């Protein structure tokens, strides 16, 4: 397999509607996808983008954003989507690291991007207007898909780890093809399926898992600009497949409007990106008659495991490894642990990424001698081969389905006047699953005010990373090796009633 776009086009050629409005009306067809993506590919080429060049995109969700994505694949460029919540400080790092040749952003951000980079900058609004779209009418619709190697990166997605510095995960054309086809089969996509799409498309869940599968199955998708429980429930009767993060399911249940009738046409609900609580699984089943299919994946690997379509779906587990994906659970010495015991989860397969952009040493560290990738997640596996994600070795916090990396925030907080050191942890939050909590040791030279600290952080980082709780302490608890004991802090500061 070479350019994954060819696979998407071959699979979707017989499809009719591609994007439906939130009222279920047809907006774009698969023929439109072919034409529009060709125009974008020509436009990028004309703008000087060569295969392998990075196209950085920070825009609101829109059909045009999707056409641009497929156009990038066709041009052989590396698509690099960014969360719209990122601040200028964060963007400056991404620009320096990725050296994009084209940047597409909202109108309000183009000035910043122009001053911060040498890239050609275009605008694209949530309504699908802007200087990018202005260029389209003069572009040909003649098919154009660049030759690439299947092992070339198609997308770079930034993700962080213990270093706190975001790393660009290079996901290849072959990775995308392999994971898409595996899921198409595992989730038994079929004629007549309609996807209800309410996820962001700057992340693997909304872009690779949701969009790719609709296209590979030539299915229409009802395209919502974001997650709105009322809109999702209104559209469920028109859909057969819905994919959400656990918080979405909690919010849908909270409306009290979910019934077996609203889900009468539905075939499949999937959840992932964070743990789905067994209580949510059970409450959803009681309300709708459907058992959510929980799956597990990550930016670097795509999807690794899934509960089965046929067979038992076990709440609290993420199911067995998908076909073609090998998993190993090992102890600190890399020795496999017995079934039922917790260890570090490693995965291997065609779904696993190529490495971190311009970080060969970091890449080498994360792969073992047999080519297994160290996920950083702690897991166990039962006698039936079902994997449970027990915790995150890397102390990642997932708040409302979005990742917050403690190390990154600690670095920023530690540099603030009046701070000696800090530890950032995740605490149970009724709405977001986890909320960010900062535990700070004051240096004593300046009086620290929580409100000031928070407003300073709001300038520096995206809102979802800003701590929901701040505590001041005299010292951080440490083990004999000098490591901060975050588990002790979590126990100490977990709000009463959440233990």
Task: Confirm or reject binding of residue 318 to ligand AMP (CB under 6 A).
Answer: yes
Give the residue, chosen from 273, 288, 306, 327, that forms a contact with ligand AMP under the rule CB under 6 A.
273
Q: Compute the C-alpha angle 383/271/498, nearest 5°.
A: 85
Give the residue, chosen from 209, 387, 389, 409, that forms a contact with ligand AMP under the rule CB under 6 A.
389
Buried b (16+ CB within 10 A) or exposed e, 279-290: ebbebbeebbeb
Which of these segments, 37-45, 295-303, 434-442, 483-491, binds ligand AMP (CB under 6 A)? 295-303
- Return the number of the residue (35 or 377) whose C-beta is nearest ligand AMP: 377
268: three-class secondary structure by DSSP: strand
Q: Are 211 and 221 in contact (CB under 8 A)?
A: yes
Task: Confirm or reject binding of residue 252 to ligand AMP (CB under 6 A).
Answer: no
CA gyration radius for the chain? 23
Min dist CB 277 to ligand AMP, Å, is 10
Task: Confirm or reject binding of residue 296 to ligand AMP (CB under 6 A).
Answer: yes
Residue 275 gets which letter from DSSP? P
Which of these segments, 17-25, 230-238, 273-281, 321-329, binds ligand AMP (CB under 6 A)? 273-281
Give the residue, chosen from 274, 409, 413, 457, that forms a contact with ligand AMP under the rule CB under 6 A.
274
**Crossing angle between the packed helical segments 406-414 and 450-460, to the nearest 10 degrees:** 120
Give the residue, chosen from 263, 403, 408, 439, that forms a contact with ligand AMP under the rule CB under 6 A.
403
Alpha helices in 201-245 (DSSP H): 204, 212-216, 229-235
Which of these segments, 25-33, 69-77, 293-301, 357-365, binds ligand AMP (CB under 6 A)? 293-301
For residue 37, what are its two tokens?
Answer: 């993506």
Give the residue, chosen from 298, 404, 461, 466, that forms a contact with ligand AMP under the rule CB under 6 A.
298
- Rounded Cα distance between 405 and 396, Å, is 5
HSE-CB at 324 with a 13 A cutoff on CA atoms is 17
For residue 234, what are its two tokens?
Answer: 């209104």
- Return the number of the residue (379 or 470) whose C-beta is nearest ligand AMP: 379
The mark string for 16-55 relative to ligand AMP (x by CB under 6 A, - otherwise) is: ----------------------------------------
Task: Confirm or reject binding of residue 299 to ligand AMP (CB under 6 A).
Answer: yes
Min dist CB 447 to ligand AMP, Å, is 37
HSE-CB at 462 with a 13 A cutoff on CA atoms is 15
- Rounded Cα distance between 103 and 58, Å, is 8
CB atoms within 10 A of CB 421: 15
Task: Confirm or reject binding of residue 204 to ligand AMP (CB under 6 A).
Answer: yes
CA 95 to mean position of chain CA atoms: 20
Which of these segments, 20-28, 46-54, 210-218, 267-275, binds ligand AMP (CB under 6 A)? 267-275
Min dist CB 275 to ligand AMP, Å, is 4
User: For binding to ligand AMP (CB under 6 A), which residues are involved?
Assistant: 159, 204, 272-275, 294, 296-299, 318, 375, 377, 389, 392, 396, 403
């Amino acid at each position: 397999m070479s350019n994954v776009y060819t696979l998407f086009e071959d699979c979707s050629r017989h499809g009719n509607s591609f994007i439906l409005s939130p009222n279920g009306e047809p907006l774009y067809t698969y023929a439109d996808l072919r034409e529009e993506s060709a125009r974008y590919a020509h436009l990028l080429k004309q703008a000087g983008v060569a295969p392998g060049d990075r196209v950085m995109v920070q825009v609101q969700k829109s059909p045009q954003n999707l056409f641009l994505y497929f156009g990038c694949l066709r041009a052989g460029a590396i698509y690099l989507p960014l969360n719209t919540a990122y601040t200028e400080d964060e963007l400056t790092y991404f620009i320096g690291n990725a050296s994009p040749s084209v940047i597409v952003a909202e109108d309000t951000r183009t000035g910043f991007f122009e001053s911060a980079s040498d890239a050609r900058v275009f605008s694209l609004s949530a309504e699908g207007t802007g200087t990018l779209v202005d260029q389209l009418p003069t572009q040909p619709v003649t098919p154009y898909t660049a030759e690439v190697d299947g092992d070339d990166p198609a997308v770079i997605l930034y993700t962080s780890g213990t270093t706190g510095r975001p790393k660009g995960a290079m996901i290849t054309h072959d990775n995308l093809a392999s994971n898409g086809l595996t899921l198409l089969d595992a989730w038994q996509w079929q004629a007549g399926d309609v996807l209800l799409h309410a996820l962001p498309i700057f992340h693997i869940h909304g872009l690779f898992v949701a969009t790719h599968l609709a296209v590979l199955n030539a299915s229409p998708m009802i395209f919502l600009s974001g997650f709105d429980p009322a809109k999702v429930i209104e559209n469920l009767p028109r859909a057969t497949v819905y994919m959400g993060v656990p918080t979405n399911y909690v919010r849908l249940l909270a409306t009290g409007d979910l019934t077996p009738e609203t889900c009468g046409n539905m075939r499949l609900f999937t959840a992932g990106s964070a743990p789905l609580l067994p209580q949510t699984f059970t409450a959803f089943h009681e309300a709708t008659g459907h058992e959510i299919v929980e799956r597990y994946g990550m930016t670097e690997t795509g999807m690794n495991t899934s509960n089965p379509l046929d067979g038992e779906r076990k709440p609290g587990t993420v199911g067995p490894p998908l076909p073609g994906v090998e998993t190993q659970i090992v102890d600190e010495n890399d020795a496999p642990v017995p079934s039922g015991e917790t260890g570090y989860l490693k995965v291997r397969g065609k779904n696993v990424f190529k490495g971190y952009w311009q970080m060969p040493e970091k890449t080498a560290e994360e792969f073992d001698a047999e080519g297994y990738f160290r996920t950083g997640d702690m897991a166990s596996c039962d006698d039936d081969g079902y994997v449970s994600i027990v915790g995150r070795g890397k102390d990642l916090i997932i708040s409302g389905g979005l990742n917050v990396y403690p190390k990154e925030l600690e670095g920023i907080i530690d540099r603030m006047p009046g701070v000696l050191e800090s530890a950032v942890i995740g605490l149970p939050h009724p709405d977001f699953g986890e909320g960010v909590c900062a535990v700070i040791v004051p240096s004593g030279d300046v009086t620290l005010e929580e409100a000031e600290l928070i407003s300073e952080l709001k300038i520096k980082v995206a809102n979802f990373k800003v701590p929901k709780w701040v505590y001041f302490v005299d010292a951080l608890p440490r083990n004999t090796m000098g490591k901060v004991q975050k588990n002790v802090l979590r126990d100490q500061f977990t709000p009463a009633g959440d233990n």
